[in-house]
């Protein structure tokens, strides 16, 4: 799984980087999951759309490729092999935090915010495989562009209301 996650992280970042519009990304391993944060606060609507499209394509396709990848090269010693990958996608403001120890050599950069909590809850909804995106991503970034709107609705054709722990009802 770690090998897959490393390869997937590099693949996604390389694919997104090819757009030439993403200046930086934050990646964090969370147990058996990955958290990708793509800072877009200074982006205008056009730049957000240009960066968001390849990210959405890669994340939606990752889930489908996961099972085939693991069956070709199963990690040694793994007793129970996960056969699916769930992806949760959210959009919204985050707060960067930095924790630095004065006595130990420890520095931790991280982000907090409701968008991370929502992405995590959506990932659990998609746990059995697939990709779930919050509708507010569409509303904020993609609905004003015809091609981006078609892409989003092609990648995420099913619309649901889900009740998420600690968050409430959300459209996905």
pLDDT in tens, 71-129: 676 666 666 666 667 788 888 888 888 887 778 777 677 888 998 889 888 888 887 77
Average pLDDT, integer, range 134-153 = 86
In whole angstroms, what is the distance from residue 157 CA to residue 150 CA? 10
| Helix ranges restricted to H, 21-172 | 45-72, 114-125, 135-137, 146-155
Average pLDDT, integer, range 137-153 = 85
pLDDT exceeding 70 applies to what percent of the chain?
A: 72
Beta strands in 4-106 (DSSP E): 26-30, 33-37, 86-89, 95-100
CA-CA distances (angstroms) from residue 68 to 64, 84, 139, 150?
8, 10, 33, 28
**b/e map of 51-72 (b: 16 or more CB within 10 Å)?**
bbbbbbbbbbbbbeebeeebee
pTM: 0.77
The pLDDT of residue 77 is 67
86 compared with 164, residue with greater pLDDT: 164
Q: How confident is the model at residue 55 (pLDDT cuts 50, 70, 90)?
A: confident
Query: Which residue has tokens 């746990």?
Result: 127
* Contact (CB, 8 A) for 113 and 95: yes
pLDDT exceeding 90 applies to what percent of the chain?
A: 5
């Amino acid at each position: 799984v770690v090998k897959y996650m490393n390869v997937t992280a590099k693949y996604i970042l390389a694919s997104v980087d090819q757009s030439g519009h993403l200046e930086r990304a934050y990646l964090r391993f969370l147990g058996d999951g990955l958290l990708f944060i793509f800072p877009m606060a200074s982006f205008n609507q056009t730049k957000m759309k240009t960066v968001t499209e390849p990210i959405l394509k890669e994340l939606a396709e990752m889930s489908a490729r996961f099972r085939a990848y693991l069956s070709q090269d199963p990690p040694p010693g793994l007793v129970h092999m996960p056969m699916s990958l769930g992806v949760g996608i959210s959009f919204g403001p985050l707060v960067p935090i930095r924790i630095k120890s004065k006595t130990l050599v420890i520095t931790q950069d991280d982000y907090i915010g409701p968008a991370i909590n929502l992405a995590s809850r959506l990932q659990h909804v998609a746990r059995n495989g697939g990709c779930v995106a919050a509708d507010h991503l569409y509303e904020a970034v993609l609905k004003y562009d015809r091609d981006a709107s078609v892409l989003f609705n092609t990648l995420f054709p099913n619309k649901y209301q889900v009740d998420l722990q600690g968050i409430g009802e959300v459209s996905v």
